[in-house]
Each structure stands twice: as structure tokens, then as C-alpha cells.
A = this chain, B = another copy of it.
Amino acid sequence: MREVFHQSLEDVQTRLVEIAELVTVAIDKATRAFGSSDVALAEEVIEADAVIDEKAIALDELAIEILARQQPVARDLRIVVSALRISASLERMGDIAEHIAQLTRMRFPERAIPKGLKSTFTKMGELDVEVARQLTELLRTQDLALAEKIRNDDDKLDDLHISVFEKVLSDTWQGEASATVDATLASRYHERFADHAVSVAKKVAYLATGDWVTETDAIEVIVNGQR
């Protein structure tokens, strides 16, 4: 029974990694499409989101099947429940990539990226892809050093998000209302990816340490390597 259970858990992990890889591709394409007003690339992201949603649902079904058939307890149970939550966060990251792609498509043939913010959004997009890659690797390896990198990148993204508002609210901002709306929404979306990644990283910290901790405690595990 233990054998079967561990096989099932490996299956869950493999699928989480697979979904994280698809999400990484979506974020990469969406942020590049946004930066270059590439509507064809944006369309790809919008179409591919259904695949992420399906895979997340299939993973949830597998987790429920494991709960029903193998009735795990204690740490094993918490691992399966965590997988359900991680899949929800990954699915949401896919949705946000789709929102960025929709913003790109809506503005086409105009540029979705407001003037004067090109380099900021390029940096945000690159950091988002880096975060998604680190998250995929974290799910694959449970290397908690990656969780700390994700947290650092999240801090950088928060700073860039604030810098977008500073720019938009400064006296030198010449953008029309539509540019202000786009900058506000796009910046929020770019920043949200990392919030979800941090949330997943906290759950993986739990999986790795085996201690059930609240999110606040978990971050201590990530930062200090101990409770």
C-alpha cells in the first residue's frame, strides 16, 4: 500500500511540474506578446489556457481519487491537500497570463505597453518568467533555496509595480487615460504572478519540511531554514 501511495504521489508531483511548465510557457509568451504587441502570440496564450485548466482539473480528480482509495493520514494527507491548493494557484497564474494576452489583443494594432514604461514592463516580464521557472524547478526538486529566490524576485516585482504607479502619477506622465488604465492593470497582473508563486513556495516548504505550518510560519522556514 505504501508503494502504491508513493507511486501516486510521484504521479501528482509529475503532473504539478507539467502544469508549472505550461504556465511558464504561457507567462513567457504573454509578457513577450504584451511587450511587442504580437497578437498572434497573444492568441496562442488565450487558446492554451484551456489545456492548463483541463490539466488542473485532472490533477484535482487524481488527488481526490488518492484520498478515496488510499485514505492517507498525517503528513501524507497534508501532502495531497497541498497539491490541490498548488494546482489552484498554478491555474490562477495561467488565467493571469491570459488576461495579459487579452489586454494585448484588445489594444491591437495599438501598442498595449504605455510609452515610457517599456523597460519597466520588460523587466517585470523577465522576472515573471524567472519566477515561473524557479517555481517549476522547486516543484521538481523541493530545493528550498529556490523558494527564497522566488521571494526575492517577488520583492523586486513589488518595487517595479510601485515604480509604475510613481511614473503614472508623476508630473511628467503624458499618457492618456487609456494608457493609464493599461499600465495599472498590466502592472497589477505582472505583480500577481509572483504573489501566487510565493504562496506555492510556502506550501512546498511545508511539503519539504513535513511540518504543518501556517503561511506566516512557513515563510520562516523558507527564510531561516528552521521554525
Q: Does A48 contact B (CB under 8 A)?
A: no
Q: Collect the chain B residues with CB atoms within 8 Å of residue A177's CB.
A: 168-169, 173, 175, 180
For window 158-189 of A, CB contacts with B under 8 Å fall at: 165, 168-169, 173, 175, 177-178, 180-181, 184-185, 188
Q: Does A85 contact B (CB under 8 A)?
A: yes
Number of copies of this chain that the complex holds: 2
Q: Does A73 contact B (CB under 8 A)?
A: yes
Q: Collect the chain B residues with CB atoms within 8 Å of residue A73's CB.
A: 68, 71
Q: Collect the chain B residues with CB atoms within 8 Å of residue A57's CB.
A: 214
Partner of A67, one of B67, B173, B181: B67
Tell me the minimal C-beta distance from A90 to chain B in angstroms. Answer: 14
10 contacts between A and B (CB under 8 A): A67-B67, A67-B81, A68-B73, A68-B74, A71-B73, A84-B84, A88-B88, A165-B181, A177-B180, A188-B188
